[in-house]
Chain A
């Protein structure tokens, strides 16, 4: 109910929208179109010779065992980052929700990591875990554990997962906290009166009511794990050792910039775009059904 705002002017709406559309076209559509264009070509680094080769870049990729290995690494990495990011943030939010004294201090401190750029987060954790000089490495060595992520791929993956999750927890935490605080207290109290313990209350009332937030965060976290973790990987392991942390988005950068293979790199970025669109579509189709609004 209420008045509908109607623009009487014929050009004002378009003029107001123009800057945003310009930004989207120049920084999103144009590079994407160029990547699509390059993915069908074979060219040298300087662009002096280009040759149209159709889908050969794509078929080379799909037959490359290292590219397929990168798929597995990315899948594992995203599952770990999204899964632990959401779980830890939810735990922290539930705890923070119950605190009465110093609540503001906890909430502020828990939000700070989000303000740290991914590259800095990567460097920070790389120092803490550095095989020779890191504090955490020193503690691990005292307990007799051989910590050397420069050689052991599993440990390198653990390092980047920790750095990436640490960066993202605050974002998830904020949304979960807001979601928790919008649950009517009367519902919780009614359940308590009926004899439901805290765990039961959490699983049957809080979580279902939190599901819209959870679904939104799941989509955002998966996209984050696929794309925004580039800074962490570049600052720490650069895809090593032996490709143990070579996620798809890093391989796109590496093949395009360091290896000078623009055609292959563009093909990879096209495939990556298709994957993430598909993942998001799957999430909306199947997971959203379970969300209770």
Chain B
């Protein structure tokens, strides 16, 4: 009798443990170092705040690596629930209608409140379809900013409080810096993002037809516009004169800036963390320069970074958990915490307000420059974002052609015409592979 009771109790215990089992939700991401630590903290915070769902963050490598792993896992029937995908992967994810579950659908099915207008327009517009429905959840967004070395400016006799606002002013400053003995005066990270994509958005001209690709798969690039050709020719000319030093396709320029080698730099807002840690000189962060003879400039810049996609094929219970987690992520306090720790922009207007009221932007000048630039003016069809299929490859094609110009091998018009032709081939192939 005693043994039977013991067995019954044990069995009951085991079964009840099963009934209380948490729904586990796998989250694949690409945040390294301090960013990864912060992400883990946020996930733990959510897990501790309730008992039904458990978020399991898994670092899966860089953005391309993690996306490749997720695609392979999906083909094997083993995809994660939440996947962090960088902005250039948006078109690929959106076209994969059977593989993803749109975020607005997840929130609606779970009955969680979700208001797209609460998000920064430049952020929401990037991840929304033409019907205004949000397909992925914005998580870490940055934009491109302009950094100057104030000590170098002082040495060259320039006013460090007056950072150049236009390209004309930048070139004048560059020439003065060069004659004061600065070896490298201007460099850039993410050349295509800054000088082709954001050039278009900042001056309110299109990068592609159909609202930069947001309106349909049959979009075509327009990156060989007169402004683009003139701007790239200007950069090529500066490179020849030694006023522009090309550093590479990603963020290699940032080390050149915070080591003091280059006096001015345009790169991601996310560079601030490393600059704060490493720069041994006085510096400031500013709006990116514009061409003052273009009507409508400056407009607003477009984002970089990543968003969270929900993969299909999971249980309804799992999706409830995802909706609860996204609601948690949208809380202003959580957003503010993420924004301050990482340098990414606060995704919602409420989070921006809360951060402002806390006096953070007085303590750390320049931390709100990214938000200010993204909200400089309400976005137009040309500046709310872009959506091109296989844009990882598309960007590399553009950057290859830009490299030919910087090396003096091609003139700007030929390079951009070639980039247009090659880029459009990629778009057509994507369209063909994703039709129906």
Contact = CB atoms under 8 A, between A and B. Distances in A.
Interface of A: 42-49, 51, 66, 132, 150-153, 240-243, 254-255, 257-261, 264
A130 B64 CA distance: 24
Interface string B418-435: 000010001001101111
A43 B435 CA distance: 10
13 contacts: A42-B429, A44-B430, A48-B97, A48-B99, A66-B422, A150-B248, A151-B406, A240-B400, A241-B407, A242-B407, A242-B409, A255-B393, A258-B64
Given A49-B434, A259-B390, A132 B71 contact: no
B434 A44 contact: yes
B392 A242 contact: no
Given A44-B95, A45-B71, 4 more contacts: A47-B71, A241-B407, A242-B401, A257-B64
Nearest to B96: A46
A66 B396 CA distance: 13
Nearest to A246: B400
Interface of B: 64, 68, 71, 74-75, 92, 95-99, 246-249, 252, 255-256, 259, 261, 390, 392-393, 396, 400-401, 403-404, 406-407, 409, 422, 426, 429-430, 432-436
B403 A46 contact: no
Nearest to A260: B390
Given A257-B64, A257-B68, A48 B407 contact: no
Contacts of A254: 393
A-B pairs, top 9 by smallest CB distance, nearest first, are A259-B393, A44-B433, A241-B403, A46-B96, A242-B403, A46-B99, A242-B400, A151-B407, A48-B98
A260 B92 contact: yes
Nearest to A42: B433
A200 B430 CA distance: 62
A44 B407 contact: no
- Main secondary structure on B side of the interface with A: helix
A12 B252 CA distance: 59
A260 B391 CA distance: 10
B60 to A, nearest CB: 14
Contacts of A259: 390, 392-393, 426
A258 B393 contact: yes
Nearest to A130: B252
B255 A240 contact: no
Nearest to A44: B433
Contacts of B432: 42
Contact of B96 (A45, A151, A255): A45
